[in-house]
Amino acid sequence: MTSLRTFKVAHALWQRDTLRFRKERSRWIGLVSQPLMFWGLIGFGLNSVVSLPEASENYLQFFYSGSLVMCVLFTTLFGSISLIEDAQSGFLRAIIASPAPKLGIALGKVAGLITLVIVQLIILLAFAPLADLSLTSVNWLQFVITAVVGTATLAGINLGAALLINSVQGFHAVMGLILFPLWIISGAMFPIPSEGALGALSAFNPMSHIATLFRFSLIPGASVSTAPLSFGILLIQATLSLWFATAMISNRRVQSV
C-alpha cells in the first residue's frame, strides 16, 4: 500500500516536472546546446593535436562521452536549483506538509530529471555521426541504463545538496568549486590514470563511472575493462544519493521552509 502511494506521488511530481519542461523551451535549448558547444569547440579543436595512448578512439569520440556526462550534470544541477526555487515560492512547503511519502517526493523529482536527460541525450546522439560514431553499433540497453542510473545518482546528490544549501547563489558556488572540477577530472575530458590521487578520486567520483559506461555503450572495443565494476559502484552510489535526497526532504520542516 505504501509503495503504491509512493509510486503515485512520484508519478504526480514527475508529471508536474515534465509539464514544466514542455513549457520552458528556452531551458531545453540551453541545456542541450551547452554540452554540444563544449564538445564542438574542445573536441574539434583538440582532435588534431591530441592523441590518446592505448585507445582505439580519437579525441572527438573520447570527448563525446564526456559531453554526455556534462549534459547529465548540468540538467541535474539546474533541476536541483528549481527545487530551491520551489522552496522559496512555497510550493515545496505545501508538498512537505502533505501526507505524501518523502521517498515518493524524491523519486518524482529524480524521475522528472531522468526523463529530461533521456530526451536531451537523444538529441545529442543525433550529432554522434559527426564524430564517426555509428548509431547502429550503440549498445542501447547499456546506454539507457547508464543514463537512468547515472542521472539518478547525480540528481540525488544535487537535490539533497540543494535542500541543504537552500540558496541559489550558494548552490552556484558549490557547482563552480566542486562539481565542475569533478567533471573535468572524471575522465570526461582526458583519460585518468588508474593509479595515484586522481585514480583514487575517480573511484569515488560518480561522473567517472558514468563517463566510463557511456564510452562502453557507444564505442565498440573502447578500452573500458572496468565497466562492470563502474556499473556496480554507480548502482550503490545511486541508492545512497536517493537516500540522501529523501533524508534531506524528511528533515525539511514546514516552519522553516
> Smallest distance from the beta carbon of 77 to other proteins, in angstroms?
19
Q: How many residues bind other proteins (CB under 8 A)?
A: 26
- Category of 207 on φ-ψ map: left (φ > 0), alpha (ψ -120 to 50) or beta: alpha
23 binding other proteins? (CB under 8 A): yes
Cβ–Cβ under 8 Å, residues 165 and 83:
no
Which residues, 6 or more positions from 225, have their beta carbon under 8 angstroms from its beta carbon?
none
91 binding other proteins? (CB under 8 A): yes
27 binding other proteins? (CB under 8 A): no
Which residues, 6 or more positions from 20, have their beta carbon under 8 angstroms from its beta carbon?
82
Residue from 74, 84, 93, 131 that binds other proteins (CB under 8 A)?
93
Residue ranges in 56-85 that form contacts with other proteins under rule CB under 8 A = none
Phi, psi (5° rounding) for residue 167? -150, 135
Residue from 29, 37, 41, 97 that binds other proteins (CB under 8 A)?
97
- Taking CB under 8 A as the binding criterion, the range among 20-28, 178-186, 200-208, 223-231 that sits at the site for other proteins is 20-28
Which residues, 6 or more positions from 142, have their beta carbon under 8 angstroms from its beta carbon?
213, 216, 217
Residue from 77, 95, 188, 219 that binds other proteins (CB under 8 A)?
95
Cα angle vertex 166, ends 163, 167, to 5°? 145
- Taking CB under 8 A as the binding criterion, the range among 92-100, 184-192, 210-218, 235-243 that sits at the site for other proteins is 92-100
Give the binding site for other proteins (CB under 8 A).
5, 8-9, 11-13, 15-16, 19-20, 23-24, 86, 89-91, 93-95, 97-100, 253-255
